[in-house]
Structure 1
Amino acid sequence: MNDFKRGDGVSSVQDEVNSREPGSGPLYDVLPSWCPEQLAVHSDAYAATDAHQEEAGYEAEPGVCDTAFGWKSLGQELRPNDVTTDLTTFQHGNRALASKEMRKSQDRGMAHSEESRLANLLRRVSREDDRDRRLATLKQLREFISHGESKVTMVKQLDTTLSTLNDILNESSKLLWELRQEAAACVGLLCTVLSYEAERIFKWLFLKFNSSSRDEVKLLYLVAAQRALEAAGERKAFSHIMQLVMSNLQSILENVDTPELLCQSVKCILQVARCYPHVFSTNFRDTVDILVGWHIDHTQRQALTQQVSGQFISY
């Protein structure tokens, strides 16, 4: 019995040992499976028990179980430095989360502000009765588009924007010709700024062109296409859709029946030839044949013949 270092943690074991009959078997048979062969319990938390045991003639030495089971004293468990570190990390984490939420809130506010501004411009340009005010509002819309800082907003409202501009293009008053040209410029600029939506906008333009019965409106659609091609320029922003554009322009050139539409479609084709010569090369022969036919038509005005001759030189 003197081989054991007593503690409260082994009191039940001691009682069981005392109750065993002499000669009933080895002592270690009664030890529970969770206790090592040399059982010793010592902790700062049991200081009072150790003192009592020392008075009773027992030694209170540090034992194996302290390290075997990873038990720590009360002072080791509650170190102020550890608590402070955890608290500081927690506070920094809260600040980071708060900053992130604040940035998200600001972004949402800015996006909402841009959407409201675009919606306001579209509403004013549609409902304003004064021609000069409408023109000024439309120029503000073109400036808004040209900045390109709110592409997400413009994509969200692309259908509404195109519909509003299309209504302006189809107005019948000749007094609004400048306004309608400005609307065509907005369509072309929108196509360039939203280059990843260029295919959708070009398809919309050619669909509207083919469905329109008014030559002056068709002319404005071609003006919009020319503005888009000119704005894109050498950046090759439309390389992935240029074959589609060239095919539609070639079809338009083959079917136009007025000098104005002829000249405007040729301007668009010339822009393709300058920036995408490899695409235009497949349509070169057909384009030249059509222009030759217009050039030798003696019923056409002399001004048109001279213009077609100049376009030949450009090719």
Structure 2
Amino acid sequence: MSGSRNRYGRRSSYQHRQHQTQSHFQHSHSQENRESAKLSRIHSLLSRISDENERRLSHVHQINSLLSDPCSSWEKMQIFDAVTRIQGNSSVFETVFEDIRATVNFKTTVAKCLALIAFNLNNEISSYFHWLFERLQITSTNSIEREKERKIWLLFSLKEVLSRNVSGTSQNVSTSGPFQQFIPGLLQDLEGLLDSMDRSDCFPGILEVLEKIAEKYPQEFGERFQDVIDLLVGWYIDTSVSDSLQSLIAETFKKLRPFWSQYLNFAYELMSHFLADMEVFTGVTVSQEGPQIDKKTAEEETIQSNIKALLSCFHAVADAVATILPQVSSDEFNETTINESTHPYDRLRAWIIKFILVIGEMYMDAEWFEKGASCIKSL
């Protein structure tokens, strides 16, 4: 992800922020005292979150209460710096996320508190995005499970920020406008994360964030739609990916139907590539003249897992666009003659059905028949 660190143009000069606040302090000495008292209180509560397990949920609620009071821009940034400051290997909130003993309710409350602190930054939200992706890129050597928990809850906080951004404030330029300009960079960082990850631990969280961006910022998401789908497809057809993760990606495909309708040619190209790859791997080619079988390539006794993954991904894309494409009758499916005037989608339908049946007869594989039947139903 070269170059992504500075995409948001984060102000890293602490002295610059100090200088900005000096005139503010001179303007109101009493407000300086009030702000100092609030910051001191938040620092105290943050330390207690780490030390007092029995009352730490109450301490987070108290921080939320303090955040509901009016804050200056300087104060908001100081609060953000306090909760994201790295002590040892993690910030105070990340320590909570990594705690295997902490309850889901407590982690949810802390993640929402982090989201509120980030949301309150307004024009300085770039600091949060910069910090978040920096932390998501860090790989822990201590515990895979703790690292997974930390990244899951960091992504949850990001989803919360995006949810807050528009909810109830869509008419307010000061909150929605500044956030909107960061969405293209945010999407590029998410793509970079998808491209660089070597494990799928936090994949569900990334999908939820992508879905939220698609919902709240359709124009910006639409511009990156094909790039996002390419990355999701790459994960889907990875044979090490679990069935449950494939199902989650397939569900995301369906949730993105408004975008598929704008990129039907892209969907057709994807499915055509899936079929072409399956033909290469199996040595079976379908055409108007009938199937052609390369016996040397097709001598495997069982169907390779990557072929099943490709069929499953074909099905996922087909299912996502099924309600968008013109429907054909079962009689048309059964026609043996596909001519040049046939719509490309109809030819693809006919060929994938032929391919599924030919491979099924060759290997008599129960899982293939099940996947094939599901695919045909979606067509």
Instruction: Give the TM-score range, shorter chain.
Output: 0.5 to 0.7
Work out the CA distance in 1 between the residues paired with 2:28 and 2:230. Answer: 59
2:273 maps to which residue?
none
Partner of residue 203 from structure 1, selected from 110, 119, 130: 130
Amino acid of the structure 1 residue aligned with 2:121: L
CA deviation profile, 1:68-104 (whole Å, cap 9, x unmatched)? xxxxxxxxxxxxxxxxxxxxxxxxxxxxxxxxxxx94
CA shift, 1:120, in A, is 2.4
Higher helix share: 1
* Cα contact 2:64–2:113 (8 A) shared by 1: yes
2:251 maps to which residue?
310
Partner of residue 224 from structure 1, selected from 144, 157, 167: 157
Instruction: After TM superposition, list the pairs within 5 Å mapping 1:42-81 onto structure 2.
Output: none
* Cα contact 1:212–1:218 (8 A) shared by 2: no
SS in 1 for 2:137: helix
SS in 2 for 1:132: coil
* Cα contact 1:124–1:137 (8 A) shared by 2: yes
Instruction: After TM superposition, list the pairs within 5 Å mapping 1:237-276 onto structure 2.
Output: 237-276=178-217
CA shift, 1:200, in A, is 1.0
2:71 maps to which residue?
150
Amino acid of the structure 2 residue aligned with 1:150: C
CA shift, 1:105, in A, is 5.4
Work out the CA distance in 2 between the residues paired with 1:154 and 1:208. Answer: 20
What value does the CA root-mean-square deviation take over the aligned residues? Answer: 2.6
CA shift, 1:284, in A, is 0.8
Amino acid of the structure 1 residue aligned with 2:102: L
Is 1:188 equivalent to 2:115 in the alignment? yes
Amino acid of the structure 1 residue aligned with 2:41: R
Task: Pick closer, same or farther for the CA change 1:161–1:293 going to 2, 3 Å.
Answer: closer
When normalised by structure 1's length, the TM-score is: 0.59
Task: Pick closer, same or farther for the CA change 1:269–1:106 going to 2, 3 Å.
Answer: same
CA shift, 1:203, in A, is 0.1
Partner of residue 61 from structure 2, selected from 139, 142, 158: 139
Q: Which has the higher contact order (CA 8 A, sep 6+)?
A: 2
Is 1:168 equivalent to 2:89 in the alignment? no
CA shift, 1:261, in A, is 1.6
Partner of residue 39 from structure 2, selected from 115, 130, 136: 115
Report sequence identity in percent. Answer: 21
Work out the CA distance in 2 between the residues paired with 1:299 and 1:153. Answer: 47
Task: Pick closer, same or farther for the CA change 1:200–1:291 going to 2, 3 Å.
Answer: same
Question: What residue ranges of structure 2 are gaps of 5+ in the alignment?
Answer: 1-26, 141-146, 171-175, 257-379
When normalised by structure 2's length, the TM-score is: 0.50
